[in-house]
Chains A and B, each alone.
Chain A
Amino acid sequence: DAGVTQSPTHLIKTRGQQVTLRCSPKSGHDTVSWYQQALGQGPQFIFQYYEEEERQRGNFPDRFSGHQFPNYSSELNVNALLLGDSALYLCASRKADTQYFGPGTRLTVL
């Protein structure tokens, strides 16, 4: 049984560019959440998708958007990248009351 998978593993972008990150949840999981983890900090909740709709959103600007597909996989899009967007982006899928995290995508903005 594959766990939560994310792609790409890491990428480098320049300020002002746009980026798309991808996540496939664990088998049987239907809810996907995205978190941003800056260096030396705990993960910060960005938003959560369930039944292809954004159900809850954290304190992140509209530059951060997402999508969930019928197979429960999800994308995180970030527009107009800033240097401060450099972080590890984590995807988590949910079953019952626990969340299981993927390995993350490390984004560096130059």
Chain B
Amino acid sequence: QKEVEQDPGPLSVPEGAIVSLNCTYSNSAFQYFMWYRQYSRKGPELLMYTYSSGNKEDGRFTAQVDKSSKYISLFIRDSQPSDSATYLCAMSARGGATNKLIFGTGTLLAVQP
């Protein structure tokens, strides 16, 4: 079993829709949770960073972490065609100098105009 599970999609939605992306994990030691966006043939771009449980909002993006269920989510409101990309969840057990990131496989999102 992988430490981090993520539905690879593809997920296709119309412009303006609310998008929900999710990851589950098995390692209860994970405390730091991130969402990255990756356009085709580019490096991952950090979107959201959350420590421990709770919600965090930044513009059209909301990240949620439920450590009791080992489940994290990213919501995108008013989705735009420019949001079409692969979304990667990542997590680590420690901060500081040894924060190796464990990634999900990524979900491919297509927002149709």
From known contacts A42-B88, A90-B43, A103-B42, infer whether A97 and B105 are also in contact, taking CB-CB under 8 Å: no
Q: How many A-B residue pairs have CB under 8 A?
A: 68
From known contacts A40-B8, A40-B105, A41-B105, infer whether A104 and B98 are also in contact, taking CB-CB under 8 Å: no
* Chain A residues within an 8 Å CB radius of B44: 43, 90, 101
From known contacts A101-B45, A106-B41, infer whether A96 and B95 are also in contact, taking CB-CB under 8 Å: yes
Of residues 72 to 102 in A, which have CB atoms within 8 Å of B's CB atoms?
88, 90, 92, 94, 96-102
Q: Are the C-beta atoms of B51 and A97 separated by less than 8 Å?
A: yes
* Chain A residues within an 8 Å CB radius of B45: 101
Which of A43, A45, A104 contacts B42, CB < 8 Å? Answer: A104
**A52 CB, nearest partner CB in chain B, Å:** 13
Of chain A, the residue at the smallest CB distance from B41 is A106
Of residues 36 to 53 in B, which have CB atoms within 8 Å of A's CB atoms?
36, 41-46, 49, 51
